[in-house]
Amino acid sequence: MCMQDPPSSFTLLHSPAYNSLYFNHNHNLSFDSSTSSLSDPMPPESDVTISSYRLCWDVFLSFRGTHTGHTFTMRLYHALHGRGVRVFRNDDGLERRGEIQKKLLEAVEDSAAAVVVISPDYASSHWCLEELAKICEVGRLILPVFYWVNPSHVRKQEGPFEEWFVWHVQRFPKERVEQWRNAMKKVGGLAGFVLDEKSDKSDELIQILVQNLMKQLRNTPLSVAPFTVGVDDRVEVLKNLLDLKSNDVRVLGLYGMGGVGKTTLAKSLFNNLVVHNFERRSFIPNVRSQVSKHHGLVSLQNKIRGDLCGRKEDLINDISDGISAIQKIVQENRVLLILDDVDDVEQLNFLMGKREWFYKGSRVVITTRDKEILYGSYVDVDFEVKELEFSEAMELFCFHAIRRKEPAEGFLDVSKQIVEKTGGLPLALEVFGSFLFDKRTEREWKDALEKLKQIRPSCLQEVLKISFDALDEQEQCIFLDIACLFVQMEMKRDDVVDILNGCDFRGEIAVAVLTARCLIKIIGDGKVWMHDQVRDMGRQIVRSESLTDPGLRSRLWDRDEILTVLKNMKGTRNVQGIVLDCVKRRMSIPRDRSADEITRENFRRKPSCKSAFEYIKERYKKYVEDRKEKSKEVILQPKHFQPMVSLRMLQINYSRLEGQFICLPPKIKWLQWKQCPLRYMPSSYNPLELAVMDLSESLIETLWKGRSNKVAVHLMVLNLSRCHRLTATPDLSGYLSLKKLNLEECSHLTRIHESLGNLNSLVHLNLRLCYNLIELPGDVSGLKHLEDLVLSDCWKLKALPKDLSCMVSLRQLLLDSTSITELPVSIFHLTKLEKLSANGCHLLKKLPTCTGKLCSLQELSLNHTALEELPDSVGSLEKLEMLSLMGCKSLSVIPNSTGKLISLTRLYLDGSGIKELPASIGALSYLRKLSVGDCTSLHKFPVSMEALVSIVELKLDGTKVSNFPEEIFVGMKMLEKLEMGKVQHLKFVPVSFGCLSALTILDMHDANITELPESIGMLENLIRLRLDKCKQLQRLPDSIGNLKSLRWLMMKETAVTRLPDSFGMLRSLVELDMKRLPYLNGAGNNVSTGTIIPEIREQPSSEAILTSFCNLSLLEKLNAHGWGIYGKIPDEFEKLSSLETLCLGHNNICNLPASMTGLSYLKKLLLSDCRELMFLPPLPSSLEELNLENCVAVQYIHDISNLERLEEFNLTNCEKMVDVPGLEHLKSLRRLYMSGCIGCSLAVKRRFSKVLLKKLEILIIPGSRVPDWFTAEPVVFSKRSNRELKGVIFFGVISFKNIAENQREGLELVDVQGKIFNLTSEVFSTTFRLLRVPRRNEDHIFLRRFGARTPLVFQLKDRYTLHLQRRNPPRIEGLELNNCRIHLVFYGDDDYEGDEGSLEEIQYSVSQKLAKFFNFAADYPDV
């Protein structure tokens, strides 16, 4: 068979994925095993880059030639070929036998992406199916084209494919055919492109495919997809060890040698656990290296606090304060904390503290190289991360060396030896495999093996150094710069490249080489990352330059070593780079006014000796604090740097430089001085070779002193972002090399020097959040190379320069939230513009008619503008992929010309004023997302919408549509998500609903539909169905049981009264919410909402409902509130062994099953308003919340002492309850509601214990006495020396008078408030959550405790005043608040854990005192 040649000329494909790929006409794929060559011959030397040896093909075309070979596929091939994309296309005329087929499958492995054109006869060829299976196996990018076929037929192998698979079953092994079926199912389920036989839009589809592929290839990482071996299996093992359904605290330790994959495994575990409802999560990488930095432990403590708090916190500067703060957080929240690469047990002491501090259900994972660290009281279970098994190691090595799972012919033996020598370490396999990627002959591999054999076993760094030694001199220098200087700064890739380019290096190419060799990686939002073993290898190379004298080394990164070298003038000409990042210690801005501001205002308003004294005192305190902060500054002298004549990179963040700047080395290329304290750079500093200058966050007012214009001729990057005192930019006319100028968030910048408009070299200009900037230079004719112009949030900017004709290179123009009123007509010259965003420009009413001339525009976003119309010319934007007009209330019409937007894939019109969609919308055959939510003027959809065959997401929420065209859904075979909630004029859903075979999410909440069509049962892929508040919906279709994939069914507040017989067949259900409001149990009107309730013709059948429930064995959440279920819950309920939440409130249940303890994962049991329930059986110990509100018949409850995890217990209005046995043992209880419990209040008070009250935060119970050792409100807080405030307890009496009994139902207690005042200014207020008003008028006492991490205590500062008050005005007129008391709990007041029976009363802890108070009040109620 003949292989197709790649493109016939050298073409540059700008792609991070391939990094300057070159293609050669003679670059043919070679499979000649006799030469033992892995790939093609080398291109000419002048064209060789590392990327020349990447994957041989960009795209593999898979198709069946009968229908498509000489028409669609050929044209697609030539279109890609013409754009420089290397396309592998097999010759459909040749037979695929033996060696030919093998080479085809190898070509699949050697391709970055695959375009699969599935035509009606595709499955007739078992070769095509074999290709397809291979394409799915390699896991690369797949773009399916459904050529005259229905995607659902592909998925199910129906229609034209059915007979071919019947035929294949008879000829091929069952396992092989099953692989083909799975591949068809997978590709049929992908969001691809549908080409309808009736429409001739193949040319438009080819254009979209080419654009899509070009974009995808640019965004594909070098390895095409993340590749790990064995991680998923190990993650499952770890999840089992963590026992995630258990409420215990679990600490897991992972240990193993460096480079074995502990961090990768920990990250995968963290990502996997995100879905497990941890309230707070934190992953702390590289603990060992970060602790070694100055104030490293404190920095990590702040990071943990920030992650786990979920809000911005004041920075901590003391280790002891840090661990105390962490203790408070983990005591009150279920957290997931992963500490990676711990090497000292002291690090655990200060980063996690004691395991008993953690709130139940928390999980902590520690990774380390030292197993000894895991011993002691920290870890419950450890897990050794071992080297990979040989087969796994071989797979990982082969992927990085040749991008295949197995060695090529002739390389098997050498591959085996290499894998054995690397010892199964993933890092070594990855780096060494990547080192061999451009080594194509067997001889080169054997030479590398010989080097490997010379290394002693288990010496990982020497293995890694082989890859370092293979770099050229400049690449080695750059590698050391990154390892020693940039990695610890978490610098972004673009910033690293800028610095390297400024040092006259080929930064882009070098970073690409290092990435290809797996010596660095680009992660997250573009940060450069290096494995600590690789980093340590690089740093060891630098240390070996001089083992004893750091001043003789080329790079310095250790703070103490740097300060010693500078202080002793030990620097030499060897030093090339220094990074000294002094920790930023400034506190974040407080949310409330400072005391000195308040006292100053009081003194101004009412001058007196007292107010003057208060003001002077507060000013002095602030002066002392400022002096203390200033004393922490690091002061450097320029003369200390003078001997370092080779210094090219210098970072001195958050330090002060005092002395003659002329002493600074003249060859500095990169200077980063964040928070520079100077008002301007001194006149003695003349940085002629400076290329990158970063003075962000500084006090700079003007860049240079006086009128002097210090020109850095070579300056390429100038960063002055967040320099809030900068008022004007300097004269930039001499900055001939400047490419990037960052002035983001220079809030006082009002003027841009006119010279900026003449910067011919400028590529990137960022002025975001310069909200005092009024205008730009009128003449910008010099900005011929500007690509990015960011003006977002320049609120006062009213106009762009009128003449933009010279900005011919502009690709991105961001104008969001500016005051511009129009775009200049000269905008049509911006023929390279790809993105135009003007969101929130409230004065922008129209676009120029020439907008259609923006021939490269891909994104146009005009959300929340005053736009009144779109010009017809927008239809000429053939490359436009996204059009967003959300919130354009004045826009009523979308022009018909939008149907010409052949590349449009996303159209967002939410909240706009449009009245109808254009009839031409059906021409948008490749539209993927259409959103018209909350378009309240939209009343109908055009019939042409049925032609939207590629639509994947459709949002119709809140429209006024009353009916759909009958066939609207017939063609939407790709639709996965349909949102049509609040479409209240819609009564019926068309039968064509059932054609949406790919649908996974259907949301119809708050709609007025009366029934669902039986065809809904055909939605076999539906996972989530939401029908909440469909109050006219009286029945579910019988076919609903066919929804085998359904996992979430939300149907609360509907009029459904019975479940269909097939309901129990929904065996995949995980959550079922079918809550009914009480008024839905009878016909009539809901007075409170005005909703007309349909007449209920039949009552729910308890037996049928309960039987259906018992079949749903995977159910985790069940809410059947208000369904009128009566009688006894059957013992079969224990089949719901996964149940975590059970709500059966407002039913007529008389008994719960004795088998309730079998529901071992049950956390919430909600039985409110079950007025016939008389007794509670033994309950599972996993319970966290138990609600018996208004269970007025309950008299007895089984001993609950086993409910050690119970946090909330609601017994409101359980008037007949006589006692709560076991209550005294509930050590986790936080909220106890006993309003109206007149029958058991005394018995319960006798049971109050120190254990119960220790964590109790809310209590309300009948009574009228308050503890006399509490202080009457208000209370002034006085800070105590060495005794931290740990909490505040409020106590008071609530009286209910003149509240009619018929008005008490559902009335909530929301009138009790705690407040903080700073002198006369209210700082903070919080309302106590005391739930329901009792049914009787008895007085009630309440207790409300706030812990140290609560906002109330967090806001409390010295001399602030605490108040306990009734809301003004009150929500409940008859409520009175009396005898209000407050008690402050300091460190040591409530910390004693032991038995206090033998202690004197004066020695009691706060909780013990409270217990004695309640016990006495119960024994002597009349005293």
DSSP code per residue over 1328-1342: ----BPPSS---EEE
The residues with which 88 forms a beta bridge, in sequence order, are 60
Residue 1306 tokens read as 């559902």
The gap from C-alpha 1100 to its chain's centroid, in whole angstroms, comes to: 43
Residue pair 949/199 in contact by the 8 Å Cβ criterion: no
d(CA 1419, CA 1410): 14
Choose among 394, 362, 365, 378: nearest CA to 280: 362
3-state secondary structure of 572: coil
Helix (H/G/I), strand (E/B), else coil: 448: helix
> Which residue, 229, 497, 267, is CA-closest to 388?
229
Residue with tokens 């030093």: 575
Report residue 753 CA to chain centroid gap: 40
Neighbours of 1154 (CB within 10 A): 11
> Are the C-beta atoms of 583 and 634 separated by less than 8 Å?
no
Spatial distance between the Cα atoms of 195 and 974, rounded to a whole number of angstroms: 12
The three-state secondary structure class of 864 is coil
Closest CA to 516 of 403, 665, 390, 361: 403
Taking the CA atoms of residue 1277, residue 1278, residue 1280 and residue 1286 in that order, the dihedral angle to the nearest 10 degrees is 10
For strands 1091-1093 and 1084-1086, give the pairing: antiparallel
How would you write 580-640 as a 3-class SS string?
CCCCCCCCCCCCCCCHHHHHHHHHHHCCCHHHHHHHHHHHHHHHHHHHHHHHCCEEECHHH
Strand partners, 1346: 1288
Written as one string, the DSSP assignment of 716-780 is -EEE-TT-TT--BPPP-TT-TT--EEE-TT-TT--B--GGGGG-TT--EEE-TT-TT-----S--
Q: Where are the beta strands (DSSP E) in 125-272?
A: 141-147, 193-195, 250-255
Preceding peptide of 1370 cis, ω within 30° = no
Contact 1366, 1261 (CB under 8 A): no
Gap between the Cα atoms of 529 and 186, Å rounded: 34
Helices 507-516, 493-502: crossing angle, 10 deg rounding: 130
- Distance between start and end Cα atoms, the chain: 104
Residue 1175's beta-bridge partner residues?
1196
CA 767, CA 751: separation in Å to the nearest integer?
11
H or E element at residue 240: helix 231-242
Strand order in the sheet with 363-368: 280-284, 335-342, 363-368, 250-255, 381-384
Tokens at 531, concatenated: 């494995």
Retrieve residue 341's tokens: 């690469």
Calculate Rg over the CA atoms of the chain.
Answer: 36
Active site residue 131: yes
Q: Which of 130, 131, 976, 1257 is catalytic?
A: 131
Structural contact between residues 700 and 680, judged by C-beta atoms closer than 8 angstroms: yes
Token pair of 354, please?
Answer: 């004691």
Query: Which of the residues are catalytic?
Result: 131
